[in-house]
């Protein structure tokens, strides 16, 4: 594993042995981290679901010093970024999921690695004014040292070095305040007024189904679930979720992600809009499809799936690697066709966790 990956995991490693007794991570704080180039500094202000990350980089050669602000709406999964000193650049906006840079997010995984014996206690030491526990270990040939503040549940400093090399500092906390930051810091500045973030995946699913977006999970996100289930594939129009009758379905349940020689699939387009499917274990099961629905049994943790809406001569099918997700013994998989018949036609493939479409329709 490259050092860059090791260092990203450091904060996730040292707190494992303490996981059982570890208090919930704080959601109100100010943390200052000076890891990185000399003179650089990152300050994170958080209050609940709002956080501001300010990154300062010192001048280097002909490159002037810079400061970047990133405001996170954690609950909505959206963030805005701007440089207050460069007005003409404006404000960029995006979406995110998972870890956004919370310094406390490293703690649980770090504790887990301690419990596995990957890190050994080296006693106690004062680091940056914090009473810390020192842990040492190695990973992929790199020597790793971590100073952990048990009281706050935070990695204060983390270093990784190859034998004979200089340590690379990946975390270097100099200040922690567990008090609410000024709320004015967590408001969007005028430069970002009116700048809209693209919809999150949950918002997209809500628009396509008319249901709560969190009821759906992308079928292209792995790993596949350990448990199995009977799957009911439904090919439907977006928004109305009405079945599309004239479809072809092909599946390959033998696909192996670890095969150094993956199969080569061949598709043939016919004048009537239908297609042929060849290669690997890909085979057509259209004869089992009724009114845009088909029952799929004995599916592996992942499989290749192709769906063709038979409409336009010469068009191609949509396909993708689907990861099995079982939220019920009989699980619905929606193949949602957007803008059917238009040049912009595309598909989203989602597992239904709950909500109005979780149960297969009765016939």
Highest mean pLDDT among 87-101, 119-133, 135-149: 119-133
Q: Which residue has the tokens 């709950």?
A: 354
DSSP string, 33-93: E--SSTT-EEEEEEETTEEEEEEEE--BTTBPPEEEEEEEETTTTEEEEE-TT-GGG-EEE
The average pLDDT across 231-253 equals: 96
**Closest among 255, 321, 314, 244 to 286, alpha carbons compared:** 244
Residue 270 tokens read as: 């016919």
The average pLDDT across 90-111 equals: 90
Q: Kindly tell me if the per-residue pLDDT of 5 is higher than 90.
A: no
The average pLDDT across 274-286 equals: 95
Stated as kind and residue range, the H or E segment containing 136 is strand 130-139
**Closest among 337, 269, 262 to 302, alpha carbons compared:** 262
The average pLDDT across 244-257 equals: 95
Residue 116 tokens read as: 């596995």
Residue 296 tokens read as: 């799929």
More confident call, 37 vs 75: 75
pLDDT at 344: 86
pLDDT at 309: 93
- Per-chain mean pLDDT for the chain: 89
d(CA 211, CA 207): 8
pLDDT at 210: 95
Are 10 and 118 within 8 A, CB to CB?
no
Are 107 and 11 within 8 A, CB to CB?
yes
Q: Kindly tell me if the per-residue pLDDT of 4 is higher than 50.
A: no
d(CA 19, CA 208): 40
Per residue in 134-173, pLDDT (tens digit) is: 999 988 788 999 999 999 999 999 999 988 888 899 999 9
Per residue in 187-237, pLDDT (tens digit) is: 998 888 888 878 888 899 999 999 999 999 999 999 999 999 999 999 999
Highest mean pLDDT among 115-119, 282-286, 341-345: 282-286
Where do the domains of the chain lie, and which CATH numbers do they carry? 3-192 (2.50.20), 201-352 (no CATH)
pLDDT at 316: 66
Q: Kindly tell me if the per-residue pLDDT of 1 is higher than 90.
A: no
Are 62 and 196 within 8 A, CB to CB?
no
Is this structure's pTM higher than 0.85? no
Per residue in 331-362, pLDDT (tens digit) is: 999 999 999 888 888 999 999 999 999 998 87
Residue 74 tokens read as: 């954690």
**Closest among 166, 159, 160 to 142, alpha carbons compared:** 160
């Amino acid at each position: 594993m490259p050092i860059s990956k090791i260092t990203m995991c450091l904060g996730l490693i040292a707190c494992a042995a303490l996981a059982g007794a570890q208090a919930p991570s704080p959601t109100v704080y100010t943390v200052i981290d000076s890891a990185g180039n000399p003179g650089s500094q990152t300050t994170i202000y958080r209050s609940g679901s709002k956080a501001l990350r300010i990154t300062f980089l010192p001048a280097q050669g002909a490159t002037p010093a810079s400061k970047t602000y990133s405001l996170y709406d954690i609950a909505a999964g959206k963030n805005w970024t701007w440089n207050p000193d460069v007005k003409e650049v404006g404000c960029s906006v995006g979406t995110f999921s998972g870890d956004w840079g919370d310094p406390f997010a490293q703690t649980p995984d770090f504790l887990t690695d301690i419990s596995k014996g990957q890190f050994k206690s080296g006693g106690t030491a004062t680091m940056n004014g914090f009473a810390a526990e020192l842990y040492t270990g190695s990973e992929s040939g790199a020597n790793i040292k971590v100073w952990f503040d048990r009281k706050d549940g935070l990695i204060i400093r983390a270093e990784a070095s190859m034998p004979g090399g200089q340590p690379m500092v990946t975390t270097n906390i100099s200040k922690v305040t567990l008090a609410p930051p000024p709320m004015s810091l967590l408001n969007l500045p005028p430069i970002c007024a009116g700048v809209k973030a693209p919809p999150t995946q949950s918002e997209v699913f809500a628009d396509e189904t008319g249901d709560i977006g969190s009821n759906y999970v992308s079928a292209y996100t792995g790993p596949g679930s350990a448990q199995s289930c009977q799957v009911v594939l439904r090919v439907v129009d977006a928004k109305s979720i009405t079945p599309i009758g004239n479809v072809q379905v092909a599946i390959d349940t033998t696909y192996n992600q670890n095969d150094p020689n993956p199969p080569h699939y061949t598709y043939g387009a016919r004048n009537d809009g239908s297609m042929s499917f060849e290669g690997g274990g890909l085979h057509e099961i259209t004869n089992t499809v009724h009114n845009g629905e088909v029952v799929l049994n004995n599916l592996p943790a992942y499989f290749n799936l192709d769906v063709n809406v038979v409409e336009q001569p010469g068009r191609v099918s949509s396909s993708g690697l689907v990861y099995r997700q079982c939220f019920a013994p009989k699980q619905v998989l929606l193949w949602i066709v957007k803008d059917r018949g238009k040049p912009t036609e595309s598909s989203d493939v989602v597992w239904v966790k709950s909500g109005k479409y979780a149960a297969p329709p009765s016939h």
